[in-house]
Amino acid sequence: MVFPLVPRYKTAANAGVMHKDIEMYLWKINQLKETLSTTGLSQKSSLSYLLIFGVVVTGGMEFMAYVPYENINIWRQVITVGYLLFAVVGTCLFYKANGGSSGENIFERYISLGVVVTIRLIPLMVALMIGLGVYLGITQGVEDDFMAHTTLAEVVITLFWAFLVWYKMVSHVRDVANA
């Protein structure tokens, strides 16, 4: 399965169309609205939008962790790269589990399953982070900035949690697609 990263424009009139199976309007909102109101997007086109959306949202949220933060270390960067990889790989696996190009309703399944899975796993993340805070407080003492530096433990906890979110989303969409 090939996903062109650089748009291949056919003509100036339909600038933004990427591939014969993938219609993507990156600027011309009226053409996008026309497609959405008439034929709708193909599953491949939807995947492209979801990939871009996932990377932009994840990248934007991760960028906010760096500004005006002053204590960026390698572990914080590992989390950022991990989240971006999960966004791309997880979305592709979700697409495949949903039936690929012959799948149905990828947007509604992606959003609805993602919301419910995330809400259900938030208590786990809170418990793990409280446990980490207590552990670090006991072993390293509590100072003004004892949680200001990202540690390997935080990397393991946050990436494990992200893995669980994507794993559950993919397994649930597979169940829905096979029902």
Q: Quick one: 72 and 21 in the same domain? A: no
Sole residue written with tokens 């991990």: 82
Q: Quick one: 85 and 101 in the same domain? A: yes
Q: Quick one: 100 and 173 in the same domain? A: yes
Q: How confident is the model at residue 41 (pLDDT cuts 50, 70, 90)?
A: confident
Q: How confident is the model at residue 21 (pLDDT cuts 50, 70, 90)?
A: low
How many Å from the N-terminal Cα to the C-terminal Cα in the chain?
A: 25
Q: How confident is the model at residue 3 (pLDDT cuts 50, 70, 90)?
A: very low
Of the candidates 172, 64, 19, the one whose C-alpha atom is nearest the C-alpha of residue 108 is: 172
In this predicted structure, which of 14-28, 124-138, 139-153 has the lowest mean pLDDT? 14-28
Q: Quick one: 120 and 68 in the same domain? A: yes
Q: Quick one: 74 and 2 in the same domain? A: no
In this predicted structure, the answer to whether residue 162 has a pLDDT above a threshold of 70 is yes
Length of the chain: 179
Q: Quick one: 65 and 4 in the same domain? A: no
40-51: average pLDDT: 87
Strongest mean pLDDT among 20-34, 35-49, 93-107: 93-107
Q: Quick one: 23 and 93 in the same domain? A: no
Q: Quick one: 35 and 63 in the same domain? A: no
In this predicted structure, the answer to whether residue 118 has a pLDDT above a threshold of 80 is yes
Sole residue written with tokens 């906010």: 64
Q: Quick one: 105 and 21 in the same domain? A: no
Q: Quick one: 115 and 45 in the same domain? A: yes
Q: Quick one: 48 and 103 in the same domain? A: yes
Strongest mean pLDDT among 76-90, 125-139, 148-162: 76-90
| Core vs surface per residue 72-88: b (16+ CB within 10 A) or e | eeebbebbbebbeebbe
Please tell me the total count of domains within the chain: 2
Domain extent at residue 27: 1-39
The Cα 150–Cα 155 span in angstroms is 8
Q: How confident is the model at residue 91 (pLDDT cuts 50, 70, 90)?
A: very high
Share of the chain above pLDDT 70, in %: 83
Q: Quick one: 24 and 102 in the same domain? A: no
